[in-house]
Structure 1
Amino acid sequence: MTQKEKTFLDQTAQRLHLTVDGESSILFGSVGGYQTMLWRNDQGLAVMTLSLHKLGQEPDQSAIRQFVKGTRLVTGVSVRRSRVELTLNVRFGNPNQVEKLAEAVAAVVEFLHASGYDNCCQNCGSAVETDPCIMTGVPSLLCDSCYQQLGHLQEQNQQAELGKKENVVAGTVGALLGSLLGVACIVLLGQLGYVAAVSGIVMAICTMKGYELLGGRFSTVGLVVSIVLMLGMTYVGYQLDWSVAVYNELKDYYELSLLDCFRMIPEMLRQEIIDSSTYIGELVKLYAFTLLGAIPTAISSMRSRKLKKVTYRLRSQRTNAAPEL
């Protein structure tokens, strides 16, 4: 944690009378009578998490979305049963935006009071006292009973996951099948005249998910296999994209198959029918965009799997205490 971030957390905690969880840098406590958690999303924006009900009913999504549309302080909302996540138009960690954050939180609280909402457990919906916690890596507001129940379920799932045997051969086949979707994306976008990072994202997600589905687990071995296949299949996709372009150019003059065109690419490069500088330049660009999409996806996937093992109740300035179940 940088000094700037620490300053932001300290000032926000003082301004809103909240507590800082030293392990996750999440701010938590009661604001205007509502149990609240404030944390940073992947885009660096502040997210306000609450668990609400109104006379035993789940939140009215349309009314909340209408509120979001009518204010510049909130940029998005996610409602899942009683759990409400509001993305605030505030950079989390910037001391200069503490007052703006306080303004956004106050606007949300005012809306909730006017709408007649009360606190509840996000899992069972009961109007009982809840604790701010991290449940499988997700900021949550749970009653003690649900916290214990979900914690035991997580422990059982972890044991089951550890009991799974990783089949590297089957996983490699799955990764290969998944990477074919990435190849299709490269060719499709290439024919439309685009080289985009979305190709790398599709390639990464499909390759890694394919390994996990058939391999049983996704370990470091799976990550290495997936990366090697991503790099190799990106080249295959690029060659196939050029093959389609050549086929479309020559099909009216010669009886050629797509496979024939695929085989002709090296010879066309050697004879300078295809400009090698353009070919190499576009290939380098494709790899750059593929890595731009694939690397964050791979990191996010591994981080997500690690976070799924994290469960604990938030504590004031936790630093050395081990996560509890």
Structure 2
Amino acid sequence: MGRATLADIKGKDLSALAKETKTNTGDTNKVSNANKNRNNTSDSRGKKSRRRHGKMIMPAAVLVSPVQRLFDTCKDVFALSGTGIVPTPDKIEQLRAVLDEIHPANIGLTPRMPCFSPPSYQRAPPITYLHIHECEKFSMGIFCLPPSGVLPLHNHPGMTVFSKLLFGTMHIKSYDWVVDVSSNASAVVTPSETVQHPAVRLAKVKVDSDLTAPCNTSILYPADGGNMHCFTAVTACAVLDVLGPPYSDPEGRHCAYYYDYPFTKLSVDGVTVPEEEKDKHAWLEEREKPEDLVVVGASYTGLEIVEK
């Protein structure tokens, strides 16, 4: 797919990706009919045998794959999804519990896959995105990051986001806006600065640490939980991403990227925080899409989802 914005990566452009080739319907029907004819006699004998023993033996319950369970749960949890609409706490826990039970093998992932070993000649290793599903209510996909791969600091406007680290170690830095400060304050550049920053906005650090799988699913809310975050792969790692609702420019859910500056690097008229809190705050400035961000779209090859 080449260079792309995160809205492209997580959005509708990926819904057109080639999906795993399905078995030819006509051939499947022929095989099915042949099997049916072949098994008629044995089925009849089996029923008679079970009756002679005084009871019918019921077939084993059909098992639901973890990915199918995730899809079905997302349909329920995000049934009323919309910009700024957060699922109820019980629905949040329902989806979190399903995600916590998913393992790499459930979705056909292994650290030995080529996408986790980038070419040595590329300065910014490419990231692979496996598109699983998207609709108006939610999207599901997997980010595959080789060592040193970076998903730059970006936001999730009006969205509830579930991120499940499937394997590896990843550094996560996330922020929430400080809501009682003007979003359009003009920065007064310190003597060490030579560039004006007219649109910085104060944010508070929510997370700044390494996570290693297995670990609990993280959840970002529209205005809390670290709505703006950056992922840096310490080792090869994979993240299962669920967004509700997904990015949509027409509906005002535009993906924006940011620079972050230490609080002490800039001074803004009328904005102060206690001395002990300064290292927990930063100035964020919206930026253009990073030129070195390379994301390659790929087909999801795990267990198939049945859209009921």
TM over 0.5: no
* TM-score (ref. length: structure 2): 0.21
Structure with the higher strand share, 1 or 2: 2
Higher RCO (CA 8 Å, separation ≥ 6 residues): 2
Report which of the two structures shows the higher radius of gyration computed on alpha carbons. 1
